[in-house]
Amino acid sequence: MSTEDIYLNNPLHGLKLDEMINQLVDHYGFEILAAYLNLKCFSTNPSVASSIKFLKKTEWAREKVEAFYLYQYKSLPRASDEQFQLPPRKRIIPAHHKAKAPAELSLEDAERLRLKRAEKARRRNATPKNPWGK
């Protein structure tokens, strides 16, 4: 098996950024993408062209969108901890993991997720850190 063959089950394999963005926008629209991904390219004067331009220059944002594509749009099971550390395009998707119908997403669910993340961050930041590790 060649190195390239191990990535063949990854839906991002061979997928161009513009194709991915068009699929996501056609299915979810900019409002849902903005709510779930919290990227200005989807909320402030959004367009496919401006989103692609931003994502080509901004690796962390592109990886965030690619992960959304894999786990929301393609509904793949969450990657192993080891694979999750890799960029989405470098992840090896096991052959028994098959893409499914896109997840049904709503603005209400996005808001609940945002509040849950904010609460988790608040609790994490409120925990006093002991500089001596005790």
pLDDT in tens, 80-118: 899 989 999 999 988 888 999 999 999 999 999 999 989
Q: How confident is the model at residue 9 (pLDDT cuts 50, 70, 90)?
A: confident
Q: pLDDT (tens digit, 9 = 90+) per residue, 41-87?
A: 999 999 999 999 999 999 999 999 999 999 999 999 988 899 989 99
| 3-state DSSP percent of the chain in helix, strand and coil, to 5 | 60, 0, 40
pLDDT confidence of residue 116: 93
What is d(CA 93, CA 11) in angstroms, rounded to the nearest whole number? 9
Total-model pTM: 0.85
121 alpha-carbon distance from chain centroid? 19
Domain extents for the chain? Answer: 4-106
Question: Strands, E, within the chain: which ranges?
Answer: none
Architecture of domain 4-106: Orthogonal Bundle (1.10)
